Structure 1
Amino acid sequence: MKFAIVFFPTVGGKNGELTPTQYYDDGLAIAELADRLGYFQLKLVEHYFFEYGGYSPDPTTFLAAVAARTSRLRIATGAVIPAFTHPVKMSGQLAMLDNISGGRLDVGFGRAFLPDEFDAFGIPLDQSRARFDENVEACLRLWTEDDLTWDGTFHQFGPVTMLPKPTQQPHPPVFVASTGNLDSCRTAGEQGRNLQLIASVATRETIQEALGVYRRAWAQAGHTPGTERIDLSFPCFIDEDREAAYRAGEYVERKMSEKMASAVSAWATVKSDQYPGYERLASAAVGNGAAFDERVKNNKVLAGTPDDVRGQLADIAEWYGDDITVGLSVFSGHLPRADVERGLELFAKHVAPTFADDREPR
């Protein structure tokens, strides 16, 4: 089992919240500490306009700064949105980042889900899946082919040869971001792409079913068993004092719920067959952080003392496999940097060694 850290800003600079400059400065310091402590990866989201993720409209910019300040930490998009960026531009940005980092990039691609973002880019929600499929394929071919001519539904170009090519050959590891949609997981497995799942938003049974579908599709498509990579993300709040960890977690989860409620409010009047059931998000987001103890009990949130969190991770390894990367969502901007750093140090010293894979150098 490997351990990553996840940055998901949910601040907007109002009422004493971190400004963008403060968030980035704190985030870079946290990234340097994570590198020293031996964490495997740092992952950052792409979102726009809202305090729910809006400090990160271009994760590649921040990740380039992380790459310059670290030497071992892998950097990951979690995820970039192909529908919002021309594939020539996106493939070039990501290839540059892979070179700048010395081949430490993991690329997570996602479909996005906020109607206001699609409206701003002039992209119909109902084109979400088709644009995702086409633009990811275009990126992969731009990375691996010369004199590419592309005649797609949404973009036409060429012949072009992208420079630079990625450092990692034939290209950086590619992940598909999902909340557990079975069709998405099946397709990712068939295509030999890795998987990013936000485990905190789904039930244990949903995640197990999604992973089963994905792993079977991977094997049936003839991909080498055991070479797939699966990232599962969980909010994490750790302290020597269980009550202090819970207080911090309840506060951050409540703020996250408030920010998400605003971002998903458009779903109250929007419906799309590309996003079945998402029209319920507008009401579901309100009060999402209320039953914190229950979320911890169900291992949707990691919280408590190091002993508590070790027990949760033992359950997670039993449920989902011990060959996964667990992403610890630790930096929303609502806790002081010193508290985040102390939590990372506690986890690295008292939790991670229990699950270390002796076959891996990290």
Structure 2
Amino acid sequence: MEYGISFFPSVGPDDKPAPQYYDEAFQLAEKADELGFAYARAIEHYFCAYGGYSPDPITFLTAIAARTKNIRLITAATIPAFTHPIKLAGKLAMLDNISHGRLDVGFGRAFLPQEFEAFEIPLEESRRRFDEGVRACRLLLSQDEVEFSGEFHRFGPVRLLPKPVQQPCPPFYVAAASSAESYEKAGRDGYFLQTALAVSSLEKTQEMLRVYRQAWADGGHRPGAERIQISMPFFLADDDETARKAGEYDHHKTSSNMLEAVSEWQRVSSTQYVGYDKIAESVRRTSFDDLVAQNKILAGGPDTVRKQLEILAETLGDDLSIALVPHSGNLDPAVPTRALELFSESVLPKLSHS
């Protein structure tokens, strides 16, 4: 298994000034690079404390690129529906050059109604805009000259500059939640996968990954070349009690912010997002202790977290990449820094699958 870190801010101006959050996150990314973690990821969200300090993951990752040497930089995920493909592809190509070829690109559909409304994009167009945006970006990044005619964008012929360092283009990931169709399509199209345990049971995730791996094989892609990233909240300390105390506090703050963000689903519906009106109910009825017991949150001392990871490897496969989410901004930055150090010193060396 491979391990990286993922940044998902869950703070707003009433909690912490944005410059302070960014400084803390960049220092943590430097520590992760120093300790040999594989990558740093960043999300895209708008307007509220649930992710709102990260409206542009590419800008965020560019700052990390300037402060690090080896760690890969991953969007998790950038939203093609909200940016013209020429603009998005240009920003991605520029980051790949600035980082000397360290970029991986993750694409997502977005799911918050207020974001779609602000960009004046109907929820019902979500899937079609996603598919078209990913396709257009791949062409722009991998071909010398592109003429494109889609449902939402028509342009060309154009020649993107700069071309990415990685040829024909950086690795592409797509995000999937709980739909078997999304997993199957990602595998069939030959894209790498990003998902999160928080949205499904361990058993359902196991089944969805089976669907993805089978679709990858059926699509004729190179056997064993698929990549799967799973993001997980991460609270590691010298002992279980300290870790769980920090985790419970952070979970409470993040859940409260998420409830505010998803409240819009109570007034809207979409055939593209069946069941999303039940997100708030699911968040309310699931406790921190439940999520730790279900191995959806990593929390404890080194031995406890190591056992959790062994279960995940046994259940979901030891070829996974775990994106640890150590810093939402709600804890003193010394807490996630210590967690990364402990992971490197006391967890990773003892894992049977490392």
2-side partners of 1:147 and 1:237: how far apart? Answer: 47
The 4+ residue runs of structure 1 with deviation greater than 6 A are none
* Alignment map for 1:127-206 (pairs within 5 Å): 127-206=125-204
Q: Aligned in 2, Cα 1:180/1:352: closer, same or farther, shift over 3 Å? A: farther
AA of the residue aligned to 1:34 = A
Instruction: Report the more deviating stretch, 153-162 or 199-208.
Output: 199-208
Deviation per CA, 1:307-333, whole angstroms, max 9, x where unpaired? 000000000000111111111111100
**Match of residue 244 from structure 1:** 242
**Match of residue 2 from structure 2:** 2
2-side partners of 1:144 and 1:201: how far apart? Answer: 33
Secondary structure of 1:285's match? helix
* Alignment map for 1:1-362 (pairs within 5 Å): 1-14=1-14, 17-286=15-284, 288=286, 291-355=287-351
Secondary structure of 1:80's match? coil
2-side partners of 1:247 and 1:50: how far apart? Answer: 25
How far residue 225 of structure 1 moved from its aligned partner, in angstroms, is: 1.1
AA of the residue aligned to 2:316 = Y
Secondary structure of 1:348's match? helix
How far residue 203 of structure 1 moved from its aligned partner, in angstroms, is: 0.2
1-side partners of 2:248 and 2:121: how far apart? Answer: 36
AA of the residue aligned to 2:94 = M
Count of aligned residue pairs for this structure pair: 354
2-side partners of 1:128 and 1:355: how far apart? Answer: 40
Secondary structure of 1:55's match? coil
Deviation per CA, 1:190-234, whole angstroms, max 9, x where unpaired? 010000011122101110111000000001111111111100111
AA of the residue aligned to 2:264 = A
Secondary structure of 2:284's match? coil
Deviation per CA, 1:315-362, whole angstroms, max 9, x where unpaired? 00001111111111111000111111011100111111234877xxxx
How far residue 240 of structure 1 moved from its aligned partner, in angstroms, is: 1.3
1-side partners of 2:132 and 2:11: how far apart? Answer: 33
1-side partners of 2:151 and 2:79: how far apart? Answer: 17
1-side partners of 2:40 and 2:350: how far apart? Answer: 21
Identity, % of aligned pairs? 52
Segments of 5+ residues of structure 1 without an aligned counterpart are none
AA of the residue aligned to 1:5 = I
How far residue 114 of structure 1 moved from its aligned partner, in angstroms, is: 0.1
Give the alignment's Cα RMSD to 1 decimal: 1.2
How far residue 287 of structure 1 moved from its aligned partner, in angstroms, is: 5.2
